[in-house]
A and B are shown apart, each in its own frame.
Chain A
């Protein structure tokens, strides 16, 4: 019940396209859903986060869509750029515990 399932494991998108990464959870007590971006040789960095009282949050080209009834949330990257090539992790938090997805390696082809 504490798992966060992330898909796909890897994703290749053409420059200018839309990248979509999905996550699903079981624990309805989760109350904070961040997405982290990690470049090779670096630690993860917060990209965008959402709380369950809203269904969507947008920051620039990055959007989180949140479906509370389906217990799913997704990251959309609009107009994907080669610089977006990285590994993306979703996570979910409850009672100060942060549970991580397995990650998605995103490659943007020029």
Chain B
């Protein structure tokens, strides 16, 4: 069974530029999450989707971050404009329902200079 796919693995941009990350969850997983993980910290939830609807985006900085999950399958996370403090690993995770094991991708490491 294929795991959660993310791309790109690494991205370096200047502050005020934009960046987009892509995630393809495990087939059949209705729930998809985007997390931000700053070095040395635990994952911080940015947004949770159930199919193509948003369940929780309370911690998403909506002035610069946006995410969508068209057709309830893959998802994109965009940052525009990026700030230095956005340097982090962006993790995508999915699971079959709203509880149980979360399956993570390997993450997209963003460096903002």
Partner-B contacts on A (CB < 8 A) = 32, 34, 36, 41-46, 49, 89, 93, 96-98, 100-103
Query: Cβ of A89: which chain B residues have Cβ within 8 Å of it?
Result: 42-43
Query: Cβ of A100: which chain B residues have Cβ within 8 Å of it?
Result: 42-44
* Besides A34-B101, A36-B102, A97-B56, 17 other A-B contacts (C-beta < 8 A): A34-B102, A42-B104, A43-B4, A43-B104, A43-B107, A44-B43, A49-B101, A89-B42, A89-B43, A93-B99, A96-B48, A96-B98, A96-B99, A100-B42, A102-B41, A103-B40, A103-B41
Min Cβ gap A88→B in Å is 10
Given the interface contacts A101-B42, A102-B42, A103-B41, does A43 sit within 8 Å of B105 by beta carbon?
yes
Per-position binary interface string of chain B over residues 85-99, scored 1 when its CB falls under 8 Å from any chain A CB and 0 otherwise: 000000101000011
Partner-A contacts on B (CB < 8 A) = 4, 40-45, 48, 55-56, 91, 93, 98-102, 104-107
A34 to B100, CA, bound (A): 9
Interface of B is mostly: loop
Query: Cβ of A45: which chain B residues have Cβ within 8 Å of it?
Result: 104
Query: Cβ of B106: which chain A residues have Cβ within 8 Å of it?
Result: 41-43
| A44 close to B98 (CB less than 8 A) | no
Query: Cβ of A103: which chain B residues have Cβ within 8 Å of it?
Result: 40-42
Min Cβ gap B105→A in Å is 5
A36 to B41, CA, bound (A): 13
| A44 close to B45 (CB less than 8 A) | no
A41 to B93, CA, bound (A): 15
A49 to B102, CA, bound (A): 11
> Which of B42, B99, B101, B106 has the largest number of chain A CB atoms within 10 A?
B42
Q: Name the contact of A32 in the complex, choosing from B42, B44, B99 (C-beta under 8 A).
A: B99
Query: Cβ of A41: which chain B residues have Cβ within 8 Å of it?
Result: 106-107
| B41 close to A98 (CB less than 8 A) | no
Given the interface contacts A32-B99, A49-B101, A98-B102, does A43 sit within 8 Å of B42 by beta carbon?
no
A103 to B43, CA, bound (A): 9
